[in-house]
Structure 1
Amino acid sequence: MKKIVFLLIIAFISCKKEPKKATSETPNNIPVKKEDAVDIPIEYAKGFSIQKQGNLTIIKVNAPWPNARKTYTYALIDKKKMETIRINSSLYDAVIPTPVNRLVATSTTHIPAIEALGVENTLIGFPGTNYVSSKKVRKKIDEGKVTNLGLNESINTEVLVNLQPELIMGFTVEGQNKTYSTIENAGIPVVYNGDWVEETPLGKAEWIKFFGPFFQKGREADSIFNSIAKSYQEAKTLATTAKNKPTVLSGSMFKDIWYVPAGKSWVAHFLEDANANYLWKDSFGTGSLSLNFETVLEKAKNADFWIGPGQFVSYNQLKETNKHYTQFKAYKDKKVYTYSLATGVTGGLLYYELAPNRPDIVLKDIIHILHPEILPDYKTVFFKQLQP
């Protein structure tokens, strides 16, 4: 879980290159005119774009990691047309024949997208399979159809290359991943996925549109996302009918620092849309704030709810870890709710896997907790009240 904490509190870094200009070529070596290119609508996500250029689909990833200054450009082409179309591969970071039939994913957030598109059978390898919660993919793992590739920071490249994947869907926290260079040198394309960098709930969820073209499932991806966005907006509107706006505390101590979601963070967006008074809503930043215990106690001692206390699963665990947690009103009133009780059979947290893809479910969870009169019969999926 240290890796998860690290990803939540990572200090954002920077570095920049101008993006490459991408053009496709016909068999007669005639470039597609700019005015003939068609942009695929992306409404919420900021980290990628998709454009149809003749027989090519061009995907650009401009936010593969926080504050990245390098843009990656990928050209996708139907396998059936590979022999009839000239492509200047030097213009792209990778040229990928589609549909992809043999995929290696590297983040649990990739799993729900491929499952929603109905292409989970393309998955042949994954680092750290114990983190996967999806029942469908766990079945494939148990059947030996998905190979465990070790840890993401040190993927077993020999095993990976022997699997002969057509694509590695990768991610990195700062652009320094020697393993991916080794994989690319073996002739296997690596595509950077920055879904985790997005700052808004619907921005993360819209990355299903990024997955679609690799499997020739662009229309299906659009339809899936539109359904999720509609569900989210309906829940958000419903939350505005609440008669009260409870105060909310979030986060917990890690060593001597209490990390709370910043005012423009992914978590803060959920709390705002659930019609909550998040006590750090006016703070600057999209990541986490590093605070001492006294500062948090002074501001949130009387908060009505405590949503997301890190990895804690019980009130007794909170008390044993730090007796001062018991000073909070939310602790005394038994109004502390965690995502750490919703796990897969091997202990993977469902929240880290599915929540970015299904923000509508997250929002409904929080609305039910804060305003039970609005969704009285709803059963939460991710957030559960702490055990005794």
Structure 2
Amino acid sequence: MKQKILLLFTVIALISCKREQKISSNEWTSISNHLQYKEASETLDLKSGNFTYNFKKNQVPFKKIILLNASMAGYISELGAENMIIGVSSPEYIYSEKIQNLLKEGKIQNVGSEQKYDVEKIISLKPDAIFTNHIASFDNAYQLLKNNGIQVIFLDEYMEQKPLEKTAYINLFGKLLGKDKEAEAKYGEVEKNYNELKALALKATSKPVVLANEMYGDVWYLPGGKTSVANFISDANAEYILKNNTDEKAVTMSFEEVFSKSKGVQFWVNAGNHLSKKELLSINSFYSKLDVFNKGKIYGIMGREKQKANDFFESGIVRSDLILKDYIKIFHPELLPDYQLTYMKELQ
């Protein structure tokens, strides 16, 4: 009898352990390997890369925020939360018309640039939080802001290489700004569109070979085979010339190395924001040796530009579905006969 009771307690204990493990493993909401958050009864915990944060429930949602990176404006705009922004750095790189109007009205302040932030002005604005990418050379400025009771949140969304994971950062912004429903709806819409477009691309009868990016000086900075550009090209059912590469960062090559790999390339994408092939050639005459320059099609990312601002790096951060749609239109135009490119434009 004692053995039966002991066995029963053992089974119950094992079930309880399994339940505890399951609850523990599901506590954190994982947006990507870089970003997770967890909600408790009194706190909101955040892990972003090497940084951890613990916000008390009376600290969030934030009401007044400062953005030190133009790309993050894309998330705020998609949530319709532009009125929460009280300061931005380098406003000339922000594409959003609403944010630009708020700047003109003085409701959003210019707080410097990535060369020098106006720390005194930032402190005087008394933001609830600052969102930025971490730049090591600004650690002293960050510490001064923290010493004045300002939350400095490093997100580094540029490190994300899976398009939908980068889009999913909107869910965190929704959580921190009290826009949960709006964030969930937007992410759900983009995710659905993206997966449907990816399935559509598989119906194409061809799989063209693709080259990407351009040279700076004597070096061609090609996206690594695991970067977001490479993932977009693959999801659009095309073959990137570095598809077997495993880097999540740019790969540097000489023109000769790229030339040797460029046989059979039909499309050249993300070729800067140049207006024409002639302009591209004036920067580097070697391009004329490429078959894709003479016989293929070349596309730059200048479809939505205003002076220094490029919406590809702003709304495009969230709207991964529209970027994928552009690539599919380029590689397989027959699949989207009525669609006009959003962020890309062909060089003539």
TM-score (norm 2): 0.89
Report matched runs for 1:317-328 at 5 Å. Answer: 317-328=279-290
1:231 aligns with 2:193: yes
In the alignment, residue 72 of structure 1 is paired with which amino acid? T
Q: Equivalent residue for 2:214?
A: 252
Structure 2 stretches lacking a partner, 5+ long: 1-19
> Match of 1:369, SS?
helix
After superposition, the C-alpha distances for 1:302-340 in whole angstroms (9 at most, x for unaligned) are 310000112433111111111110122222135100003
In the alignment, residue 357 of structure 1 is paired with which amino acid? V
Shift in Å, 1:352: 1.2
The match for 1:203 among 159, 162, 165 is 165
Preserved CA contact (<8 Å) 2:78 2:315: no
> Match of 2:335, SS?
coil
Alpha-carbon distance between aligned partners in 1 of 2:34 and 2:25, rounded to the nearest angstrom = 20
Preserved CA contact (<8 Å) 1:306 1:330: yes
Shift in Å, 1:231: 0.7
User: Number of residue pairs matched?
Assistant: 328
The match for 2:311 among 350, 367, 372 is 350
RMSD over equivalenced CA pairs, Å: 2.0
> Match of 1:378, SS?
coil
Detail structure 1 runs of 4+ shifted over 4 Å in the superposition: 33-38, 173-176
Q: Equivalent residue for 1:57?
A: 44
> Match of 2:107, SS?
coil
Shift in Å, 1:189: 1.2
After superposition, the C-alpha distances for 1:327-370 in whole angstroms (9 at most, x for unaligned) are 222221351000034213x4301111122211100000000011
1:72 aligns with 2:52: yes
Shift in Å, 1:74: 2.6
> Match of 1:150, SS?
coil
Preserved CA contact (<8 Å) 2:266 2:296: no
Shift in Å, 1:107: 1.1
Alpha-carbon distance between aligned partners in 2 of 1:142 and 1:329, rounded to the nearest angstrom = 47
Q: Equivalent residue for 2:111?
A: 149
Report matched runs for 1:44-123 at 5 Å. Answer: 45-61=32-48, 63=49, 70-78=50-58, 97-123=59-85
Alpha-carbon distance between aligned partners in 1 of 2:141 and 2:135, rounded to the nearest angstrom = 13
Report matched runs for 1:1-388 at 5 Å. Answer: 39=27, 41-42=29-30, 45-61=32-48, 63=49, 70-78=50-58, 97-174=59-136, 177-333=139-295, 335-344=297-306, 346-386=307-347, 388=348
Shift in Å, 1:188: 1.1
After superposition, the C-alpha distances for 1:171-218 in whole angstroms (9 at most, x for unaligned) are 114585322111111221111112111111011111011111211222
Shift in Å, 1:57: 1.9
In the alignment, residue 255 of structure 1 is paired with which amino acid? G
Preserved CA contact (<8 Å) 1:114 1:211: yes
> Match of 1:51, SS?
strand
Shift in Å, 1:292: 0.4
Alpha-carbon distance between aligned partners in 2 of 1:334 and 1:247, rounded to the nearest angstrom = 10
- CA distance change for structure 1 residues 115 and 36 in 2, over 3 Å: closer, same or farther? same
Alpha-carbon distance between aligned partners in 2 of 1:354 and 1:250, rounded to the nearest angstrom = 21
Alpha-carbon distance between aligned partners in 2 of 1:36 and 1:326, rounded to the nearest angstrom = 58
TM-score (norm 1): 0.80
The structure whose residues are more often helix, as a share, is 2
Preserved CA contact (<8 Å) 2:68 2:88: yes
In the alignment, residue 377 of structure 1 is paired with which amino acid? D
> Match of 2:317, SS?
coil
In the alignment, residue 368 of structure 1 is paired with which amino acid? K
Shift in Å, 1:220: 2.5
- CA distance change for structure 1 residues 174 and 272 in 2, over 3 Å: closer, same or farther? farther
Preserved CA contact (<8 Å) 2:212 2:223: yes
> Match of 2:39, SS?
strand
Alpha-carbon distance between aligned partners in 2 of 1:229 and 1:260, rounded to the nearest angstrom = 27
